[in-house]
Copies of this chain bind each other. A is one copy, B any other.
Amino acid sequence: MNDLTHFNAQGEAHMVNVAAKRESHRVAIASGRIRMAPATFDRILAGDAKKGDVLGVARVAGIMAAKRTGELIPLCHPLPLTHVAIDFTPEPPNTIHCTARAETVGRTGVEMEALTAASVALLTIYDMVKAIDRGMTIEAVQLEEKRGGKSGSWRREPTAHP
C-alpha cells in the first residue's frame, strides 16, 4: 500500500476511489494574506464603486476559481459545491488577510476548493494593483479547518510548522 493516497501500490497517480464513501456535509476553511507597500494598502482600502473595488473583483474571482478546482488540481474529484464565501480583513499597515470557505454535500472533502479560492483571490488582488506595486507577496496560504467525512474534523494548531 501507498501512504500517499493519490498513488497506487505501483506509485502511479490515480483519482482515489470514493464510491464507497457516504455522502456527508463537508466544510473547509482556508486562509492566506498578501503583503504590500503601505501606500498600496491605503489605495486598495480607499477603493469603492467609484474609485475601483479591488476586493470586490478579487472576491468574485476566488468564488469562480473554487468551482474550477477539479480542472486545475489533477487528482481532485469534481464536486458540486453548495457554498463558497470569501472574506477580506485589512491588517494595517500593509497586509490584507483572506479567508475562503467552501462546502459541499459529497463523498470527498473541499480543502482544495477553499485553498484554490483563497489563492486565486489573492492573485487577483496582485493583478489589480501590480501597476503600482510589483513587489507584493502572497503568504501563509493554508488550511485552517475542515469538517465532515470519515476523517472527521481538523483544526490548525496555532504553532504548526513554526
CA A71 to CA B17, docked complex, whole Å = 22
> Which residues of chain A (1-23) have a CB below 8 Å from chain B?
2-8, 10-19
Whether the pair B74, A11 counts as a contact (CB closer than 8 A) is: no
CB proximity of A79 to chain B, nearest CB, Å: 5
Whether the pair B112, A123 counts as a contact (CB closer than 8 A) is: yes
The answer to whether residues A161 and B142 also contact, given A17-B82, A64-B71, A86-B14 and a CB cut-off of 8 A, is: no
- 30 A-B residue contacts at CB 8 Å? A3-B131, A4-B47, A4-B128, A4-B129, A6-B52, A6-B57, A6-B127, A6-B128, A7-B51, A12-B56, A12-B87, A13-B53, A15-B66, A15-B81, A19-B82, A19-B103, A53-B53, A61-B73, A61-B74, A64-B71, A65-B72, A76-B127, A77-B81, A112-B126, A123-B141, A134-B154, A136-B161, A137-B140, A137-B161, A138-B142
Which A residues form the contact surface with B (CB < 8 A)?
A: 2-8, 10-19, 25, 32, 35-37, 43, 47-54, 56-57, 59-61, 63-68, 70-87, 94, 103-107, 111-112, 115-116, 119-120, 122-124, 126-132, 134-143, 146, 154, 156-157, 160-161
